[in-house]
Chain A
């Protein structure tokens, strides 16, 4: 039924099967839209946020997806600026994942503010000293860059490509893509960094606060490093997952392995600096605020226990770094995927503690640890973003030539 829209030479499932899948995705989207509508119409009282948890699930998810979506700009940087040609085989899906992550983050941010219709105030009355201002400007600009990067991929649809003007336009976009890759890299370095700075500058929240270099706290640099260490890992994971779901080879293993090597090397470097940073925070930053490590964790187990520190730095930090830098392990699919999965989990945990634990650690010695469990409306809003992501990836995979190697890898 839709055969004319499918790129020539590739196989896709039947239209009926595709529609059943899209039906499931639309159900998820509808649930998400209902939750979102409640939050927009009735207000943020629909969430379980409160005066202690001003930042909660949504901000954690924003930080998480922005870090994990860094595969778009960093793969683009390595492909177009550094010139690693092999990455052309995975760059399209990296851009689409990045577009979904950043688009989703912007969408959630718009719902997360108390007065969404005033969101433009951030651009009209900007406070240049606020890290959040830098984040807003850079993310908005970078999302525009991602749209420009996504456009030539859409224009490659066989029906669109028949039009001579679109064909030439698409070709020219590809020719000049290095400019957008450079611009995207510049913007991304700043917003990834300023997201780290958003928490690192909080000298009144000892759990998040870090000293730094000039106006940038160390979290500024750590967030950049951790994003480029986890972004390629998520791109690798999603590509692998798409191969499993579709039952087709989309990218050769050496490309996936290269993505794993990039992620692993950067994660290894990140972990060195992160461990030094944690040591300095425990030994110098916390005592300067009159606190000790024990004041920042609620025992060993349970919510906000030391297990989070062990999990973030050890289990999902050092271990995946070692797995991914080891060539022998990387060559085996199981270890490559496990390493990438643990890498992404560790970075997500880092964003979790930066957002949630920073708010939870009692600021007064006599205060209690507050608790927080997201409402279904908060989960639904995330479900909506997930639904949009699934929809965009599904449609893109079916109707756009995302993987240049696909035809060759599935020839027999």
Chain B
């Protein structure tokens, strides 16, 4: 592929995720698929969740009302692959990078575990290998050969299953195509979701599913911690008016304004 051609496709791609919170049942299939796909080790004692290695977690959020008015949503949270990624700015050893298609990746052999990126990321999307990775006996046979395992003492995070993109691109090149087709590259979590609550695609393609959904659901679309200013690439949809103010910092006057716009 010539340089000019390469430039063309990189500018034509920006991958985003759209999560329909109202569809999510919190079943955890996405978390399991993510762990399986990315060779994430498991510990025998996972009681301390602040030490767990999960690239994708599901938050259970309520409307803070007593029964029977209680309402619950489940919020899957992968790495936000921000357009202005604070982790990339702060990493002292250039061990994390944002590529042209919008994916923030981690270079494990370069990371020396200073954890500045973790202290900076407000989404807690980055996790540290506090222990040596241990896999239950026999599970090594199920390793994904496309994803490297990580050693103790480095930070790791969701990559939007970047290796799947490489496969899709290899296939496209072999078939003489420049751009990927919609749905040709999706991460394991989106593929595994039984209620199809997770959409994934190229936002620069106006005909892609994510572009269409974001257009159609515009009044109900938001991003987490939007005011922090890191421009996340993960969008959320909820048609319930209590959800957004519970998920993001909203000042009182803004809340009233938002409620009125939903009516």
Contacts and interface: CB of A to CB of B under 8 A. Distances in A.
Interface of A: 43-45, 49-55, 112-116, 118-119, 121-122, 124-127, 129-133, 136, 198, 201-206, 287-292, 295, 358-359, 363-366, 370
Interface of B: 48, 50-52, 59, 61, 86, 89-95, 110-116, 118-124, 126-132, 151-155, 224-225, 227-230, 245-251, 254
Contacts of B128: 44, 51, 54, 114
Contact of B93 (A49, A122, A292, A358): A122
B119 A55 contact: yes
Contact of A115 (B51, B111, B230): B111
A43 B130 contact: yes
Contacts of B112: 113-116, 118-119, 121-122
Given A51-B50, A206-B228, A289-B228, A113 B113 contact: yes
Given A43-B132, A366-B61, A291 B249 contact: yes
B246 A204 contact: no
A49 B119 CA distance: 12
Given A44-B113, A290-B248, 18 more contacts: A51-B52, A55-B115, A113-B112, A113-B153, A114-B115, A116-B112, A118-B93, A121-B95, A121-B112, A122-B92, A126-B92, A126-B94, A130-B91, A204-B121, A206-B228, A365-B245, A366-B247, A370-B50
Going nearest first, the 10 A-B pairs with the smallest beta carbon separation are A114-B113, A114-B153, A290-B249, A54-B115, A54-B118, A50-B50, A118-B112, A363-B122, A132-B92, A121-B93
A127 B124 contact: no
Contacts of A287: 251
A366 B224 CA distance: 12
A94 B172 CA distance: 66
Contacts of A201: 89-90
A117 B62 CA distance: 45
Nearest to B93: A121
Question: Which applies to chain A's interface (DSSP): helix, strand, loop or mixed?
Answer: loop
Contacts of A114: 111-115, 128-129, 152-155
Interface residues of B: mostly helix, strand, loop or mixed?
loop
Given A121-B95, A204-B122, A131 B130 contact: no
Nearest to A124: B93
B132 to A, nearest CB: 7
Contacts of A44: 113, 128, 130, 153
A136 B119 contact: no
A290 B95 CA distance: 31
Given A127-B91, A205-B120, A366 B246 contact: yes
A112 B128 CA distance: 13
B134 to A, nearest CB: 12
A45 B124 contact: no
26 contacts: A43-B131, A43-B153, A44-B113, A51-B52, A51-B124, A51-B126, A51-B128, A52-B124, A53-B50, A55-B116, A112-B114, A113-B113, A114-B111, A115-B111, A125-B94, A126-B92, A130-B90, A130-B92, A130-B116, A132-B90, A132-B92, A132-B114, A203-B86, A205-B119, A206-B228, A288-B227
Contacts of A116: 112
Contacts of B130: 43-45, 49-50
Nearest to A117: B112
Contact of B95 (A49, A125, A198, A359): A125
Contacts of B129: 114
Given A113-B153, A132-B116, A198-B116, A205 B248 contact: no
B224 A202 contact: no
Contacts of B151: 115
B70 to A, nearest CB: 14
Given A202-B119, A203-B230, A205-B119, A130 B127 contact: no
A131 B50 contact: no
A205 B247 contact: no
Among B48, B51, B93, B129, residue most surrounded by chain A Cβ atoms (within 10 Å) = B93
A358 B90 CA distance: 15
Contacts of B92: 122, 126-127, 130, 132-133, 136
A397 to B, nearest CB: 36
A198 B228 CA distance: 17
Chain B CB within 10 Å, residue with most, of A53, A130, A198: A130
A363 B225 contact: yes
A204 B120 contact: yes
Given A115-B154, A204-B122, A364 B93 contact: no
Contacts of B154: 114-115
Contact of A366 (B59, B114, B127, B152): B59
A288 B250 CA distance: 10
Nearest to B64: A366
A129 B224 CA distance: 25
A132 B115 CA distance: 11
Contacts of B89: 129-130, 201
A151 to B, nearest CB: 30
A119 to B, nearest CB: 6
A340 B36 CA distance: 57
Contacts of A112: 114
Contacts of B126: 51
A358 B225 CA distance: 16
Given A54-B115, A115-B111, A202-B119, A292 B251 contact: yes
Nearest to A361: B122
A130 B120 CA distance: 12
B93 A289 contact: no
A112 B118 CA distance: 14
Contacts of A52: 50, 124
A290 to B, nearest CB: 3
A131 B90 contact: yes
Contacts of A127: 90-94
Contact of A203 (B59, B116, B119, B228): B228
